Amino acid sequence: MRRLVMVGVAIAVLSAGCGGQSPAPVPTSATGGPVTGGVVSLTFDDGLARQEQMAQELTKRGLIGTFYVHSTRTKAAGYLDQPKLERMSEAGHEIGGHTRTHARLPELHPDEQRREVCADRSALKAMGFAPKSFAYPFHAVSAAAESVVRECGYSSGRGRAGAAAERIEPRDPYNLNTPLAVGAGTTPAQIQKYVLAAEQHKTWAILVFHDYCDDCGPLGVEPAVFTGFLDWLKEHKIAVRTVGDVIGGDLRPVPKIKAPSIVLNASLENYFGKEGVPDCWQLDGRSKTATFGRVAGARTGRWAGRIQVGDGDPGRLRLAIKQDDGDCAPRTGALSVWYTSTVPVRFTFSRRTGDGVWTRWADGPVFPATTSWRQATWTPPRAQAAGISFGLVLAAPGQATFDDFALR
């Protein structure tokens, strides 16, 4: 029998190689047999550290899942790091993309959407993974966001929430339907209901999980509920496949991202984690008398950035666009930012030359203190630049709040 199985596998491999492309996989049941009913995909969002335990519970039962992660958080506390993700991938679990910073894509400029999606996928590929599947953070999807996900090389996008099931051959693979996320208030009977409906109607139930714990928030599923559901799923012999296997198709390349023509994260909304520096920005010159933080009461959106310097040189604290090779640093143009301040402020500006070297920071014009939002604009002297970085600094000890940076 073992010899016959090995011969069958060899024939399958040779057949796939001769055709030039591997055919889309045929879904199998949790026990390896052919599918006679529906299909279930177990998906996990955000790359939280405790999902390693969930993956281990899947593996114990011969099941597999799709884990949507942020490439930027693989080195952050509380998240799955690269070695753990590698072990999960080796066990058969799928590693997919979820944007760099858990961004609401429909609210972003198309250039920023591409950086969030394409750069995230490129980083996952550089780690050795084969990301084919994507999930929209917050289930926030639009026609423009779908277009970007397709452009970045993904084969699918898990999107709209609230639908019990999806077609096994979806009408729109870039907006896959899913029930609401399984959380603390979800009962085993409710989870089973989605699976049984998919089996009855021969459809595809895409279930969404986040955290794995007792009493840790609305999106945390209790371990006893989760493992009990897996045991039921295994005993029920329903097909369990990754999203990538159901969709099928070859791994597509990631397009090269052009240098942005706008200021990315211009309204300082996206942060890495809950605190720290806004994504695509850098902060120079922290000291005991100089602080930076995000504050409510922004001109637009939820957040603005605030700098405060107690004494000494106010230029010691500079919030500026990240000086990189083009993922964040835009091309040249007239500079604009909105601000309020207790003291005068001035532009600070630096250029990246063609060989990748950044010039020293240069000072721009000074703008007066203001208690209401005021726009500061400045056109730097024209010069060839492969990229620019700019921001505002205080001209004297005091406080300033910034929002809505732009190139014009």
CATH number at residue 46: 3.20.20.370
Structure-block tokens of residue 3: 């010899």
Q: Are residues 164 and 67 in the same domain?
A: yes
Rounded to the nearest 5 percent, the helix, strand and coil shares of the chain are: 25, 30, 45
Q: Are residues 285 and 242 in the same domain?
A: no
Asked whether residue 65 is domain-assigned, the answer is: yes
Asked whether residue 385 is domain-assigned, the answer is: yes
Q: State the DSSP code for 319.
A: E
Are 177 and 163 contacting, i.e. CB atoms less than 8 angstroms apart?
yes
Structure-block tokens of residue 109: 């400029």
Asked whether residue 351 is domain-assigned, the answer is: yes
Structure-block tokens of residue 310: 């107690």
Q: What is the DSSP string of 35-79?
A: -SS-EEEEEEETTBTTHHHHHHHHHHTT---EEEE-GGGTTSTTB
Q: Are residues 287 and 240 in the same domain?
A: no
Asked whether residue 253 is domain-assigned, the answer is: no
Q: pLDDT per residue over 51-80, tens digit each?
A: 999 999 999 999 999 999 999 899 889 999
Residue where a domain stops, chosen among 223, 247, 271: 247
Asked whether residue 196 is domain-assigned, the answer is: yes
Q: Are residues 381 and 315 in the same domain?
A: yes
Q: Are residues 223 and 360 in the same domain?
A: no
Q: Which residues contact 105 (CB under 8 A, 6 or more apart)?
A: 99, 113, 116, 117, 136, 137, 140, 141, 142, 144, 145, 148
Q: Are residues 223 and 297 in the same domain?
A: no
Task: Please say if the pLDDT value at position 237 is more than 90.
Answer: no
Other Cβ atoms less than 10 A from the Cβ of 35: the count is 16
Asked whether residue 261 is domain-assigned, the answer is: no
Residue where a domain stops, chosen among 226, 247, 268: 247
Helix (H, G, I), strand (E, B) or coil at 220: strand
Q: What is the CATH number of the domain that holds 326?
A: 2.60.120.260
Q: Are residues 78 and 140 in the same domain?
A: yes
Q: Are residues 57 and 191 in the same domain?
A: yes
Q: Are residues 32 and 122 in the same domain?
A: yes
The total domain count for the chain is 2
Asked whether residue 263 is domain-assigned, the answer is: no
Q: Are residues 289 and 241 in the same domain?
A: no
Q: Which of 2-16, 99-113, 121-135, 394-408 has the lowest mean pLDDT?
A: 2-16
Q: Please give the distance of CA 9 from its chain centroid, rounded to a whole number.
A: 37
Q: Are residues 187 and 132 in the same domain?
A: yes
CA distance 179 to 385: 49
Residue where a domain stops, chosen among 247, 271, 295: 247
Q: pLDDT per residue over 222-235, tens digit each?
A: 999 999 999 999 99
pLDDT of residue 163: 82
Task: Please say if the pLDDT value at position 48 is more than 70.
Answer: yes
Q: State the DSSP code for 119.
A: I
Candidates 257, 281, 263, 270; CA nearest to 103 is 270
**Domain containing 324: what range?**
281-407
Structure-block tokens of residue 295: 């504050």
Helix (H, G, I), strand (E, B) or coil at 172: coil
pLDDT of residue 266: 94
Asked whether residue 374 is domain-assigned, the answer is: yes
Q: Are residues 76 and 133 in the same domain?
A: yes
Compute the radius of gyration of the chain from its Cα atoms. 25
